[in-house]
Structure 1
Amino acid sequence: MFDDMDELATDYDDLVRNAREGKGLSQSDLANELNEKASLIRKIERGDTLPSDQVQTKLEDFLEINLNAQGGSSDDTEWSGGSSSGSYTLGDVVKRKD
């Protein structure tokens, strides 16, 4: 179920703010363009709330940005572990925080 979901970029708030300011819009102007509340735009830009899928699509389309995390695809290029036999242990997957 969750395999097809895209991960939101960790700096989504900055991406939205910078794109809005780049277009010379206030938060209220952007909210009006998207038919959303200005308070929602403020919360998104502060990082207090995550945009719903619908709002994320509106933001991406209007501001011409991509809010998905880079490298969040199903074939993770950072993965390194496991044996050549294809079996994995807990030590291959978990990283300790000491």
Structure 2
Amino acid sequence: MFDEMDEVATDYDQRIREARESAGLSQEDLAGELNEKASLIRKLERGDMLPSDSVQKKLERKLEISLSERGDTEDTEWEGGSSTGSYTLGDVVTRKDS
């Protein structure tokens, strides 16, 4: 279930600010068009808070940007075991009861 969810990009604040400025909008203008408070836009652009799912979707639609990490990084499956030549948890953990 959670594997299908997108994570918010680490530079979401910069993406929002740059897209807003490129669109020639003030924080107040953008907030008004999204039906949100200007203080929310300020907090998002400072990186003080993450956007809720609904706000993220509004921002992505209005500013024509992506705020998610999907596609930005490759998600690979972890493969453990000595057959890969790498360490496993059992190779590095010492049990206290032994």
Q: Report the TM-score, using the length of structure 1 for normalisation.
A: 0.77
1:41 and 2:41 correspond? yes
**Stretches of 4+ aligned residues off by more than 2 angstroms:** 79-85, 88-92
Question: Taking every aligned residue pair, what percent have the same amino acid on both sides?
Answer: 69
CA distance in 2, matches of 1:71, 1:5: 14
**Counterpart for residue 15 of structure 1:** 15
Shift of 1:33: 0.4
Structure 2 length as normaliser, TM-score?
0.77
Summarize the alignment of residues 43-62 of structure 1 with structure 2, pairs less than 5 Å apart.
43-62=43-62
Q: AA paired with 1:82?
A: G
Higher helix share: 2
Equivalents in 1 of 2:15, 2:33: separation in Å? 17
Give the alignment's Cα RMSD to 1 decimal. 2.3
The answer for unaligned runs of 5 or more in structure 1 is 93-98
Matches within 5 A, 1:1-98: 1-69=1-69, 70-71=72-73, 76-77=75-76, 81-83=79-81, 84=83, 89-90=88-89
Q: Which runs of 5+ in 2 are unaligned?
A: 92-98
TM-fit CA distance, 1:80: 6.2
